[in-house]
């Protein structure tokens, strides 16, 4: 589904990311972890063609993301508030995103009802500008929009960071369901080791832009990661 070919990103001669080769299979739930500055967000921005690589290429279904826009039709993402249109209300924003995916009002309602309690009617129908929302509700709007249109790939950077405990539980349940039932290729970064190991069946650990470990999630993974980060 996604292939990394000799990708490097430098900022002012400082190497931020260096991944010689990597493949993320269709339907895989891929968790990216590491301390601040490890290169997680840089990697996701390269996958979404929000940054130009210093060298190398990223392919999505054999489509080079830097030379085509075809991959955008099947990719949903939310990295930060810059993805939102903050002068719109949540209701207007969802209508707009739905329109881009060819969804009508009935489709939007069906989508809302499929979110396993992650979305509330109060948020879905909110007519106040997104800029007035709490950080948690802004994140929920962005995550919900990323899931509209039945994407085949979903990229989420720190999706649990601002959510309350109830929303975190609902989101984990939702992500596991769409991965298992819809075979969505899921890419998630998180500082919360418990969340990412619960949701993802593969974990990649970055440090200073390099892949330190790449392994399948097991019952021992959380303990091993906690040991690594407390060494």
Q: Which fold has domain 2-229?
A: Rossmann fold (3.40.50)
Question: Could you read off the pLDDT of 132-187 as tens digits, one per residue?
Answer: 999 999 999 999 999 999 999 999 999 999 999 999 999 999 999 999 999 999 99
Q: Give the predicted TM-score (pTM) of the model.
A: 0.94
| CA pair distance 94, 144, nearest whole angstrom | 8
Provide the percentage of residues in the chain whose pLDDT is more than 70. Answer: 100
Encoded tokens for 18: 């260096």
Question: Could you read off the pLDDT of 15-64 as tens digits, one per residue?
Answer: 999 999 999 999 999 999 999 999 999 999 999 999 999 999 999 999 99
Query: Binning pLDDT at 50, 70 and 90, where does residue 113 land?
Result: confident
Encoded tokens for 138: 């802004």
Exposed, middle or buried: residue 122 (CB in 10 Å: 0-12, 13-18, 19+)?
A: exposed
Q: What pLDDT score does 126 carry?
A: 76
Q: How many C-beta atoms lie closer than 10 Å to residue 2's C-beta?
A: 22
| CA pair distance 40, 49, nearest whole angstrom | 14
Contact 195, 203 (CB under 8 A): no
Query: Binning pLDDT at 50, 70 and 90, where does residue 117 land?
Result: confident
Nearest to 206 by CA among 29, 21, 16: 16
Query: Binning pLDDT at 50, 70 and 90, where does residue 119 land?
Result: confident
Q: What pLDDT score does 28 carry?
A: 96
| CA pair distance 167, 150, nearest whole angstrom | 21
| 125 has a pLDDT exceeding 80 | no
Query: Binning pLDDT at 50, 70 and 90, where does residue 109 land?
Result: confident
Average confidence (pLDDT) over 114-128: 79
Domains of the chain, residue spans: 2-229
């Amino acid at each position: 589904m996604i292939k990394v070919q000799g990708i490097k990103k430098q900022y002012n001669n400082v190497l931020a990311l260096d991944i010689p080769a990597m493949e993320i299979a269709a339907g895989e739930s891929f968790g990216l972890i590491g301390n601040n500055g490890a290169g997680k967000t840089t990697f996701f921005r390269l996958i979404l063609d929000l940054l130009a690589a210093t060298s190398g290429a990223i392919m999505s279904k054999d489509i080079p993301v830097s030379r085509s826009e075809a991959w955008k039709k099947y990719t949903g993402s939310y990295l930060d508030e810059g993805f939102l249109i903050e002068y719109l209300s949540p209701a207007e924003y969802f209508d707009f995103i739905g329109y881009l995916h060819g969804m009508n009002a009935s489709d939007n309602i069906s989508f809302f009802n499929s979110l396993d309690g992650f979305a509330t009617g109060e948020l879905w129908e909110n007519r106040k500008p997104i800029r007035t929302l709490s950080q948690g509700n802004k994140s929920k709007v962005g995550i919900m929009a990323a899931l509209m249109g039945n994407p085949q790939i979903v990229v989420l950077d720190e999706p649990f960071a601002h959510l309350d405990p109830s929303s975190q539980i609902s989101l984990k349940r939702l992500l596991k369901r769409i991965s298992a039932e819809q075979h969505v290729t899921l890419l998630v970064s998180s500082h919360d080791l418990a969340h990412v190991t619960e949701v993802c069946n593969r974990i990649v650990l970055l440090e200073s832009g390099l892949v330190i470990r790449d392994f399948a999630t097991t019952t021992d993974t959380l303990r091993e990661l906690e040991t690594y980060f407390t060494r």
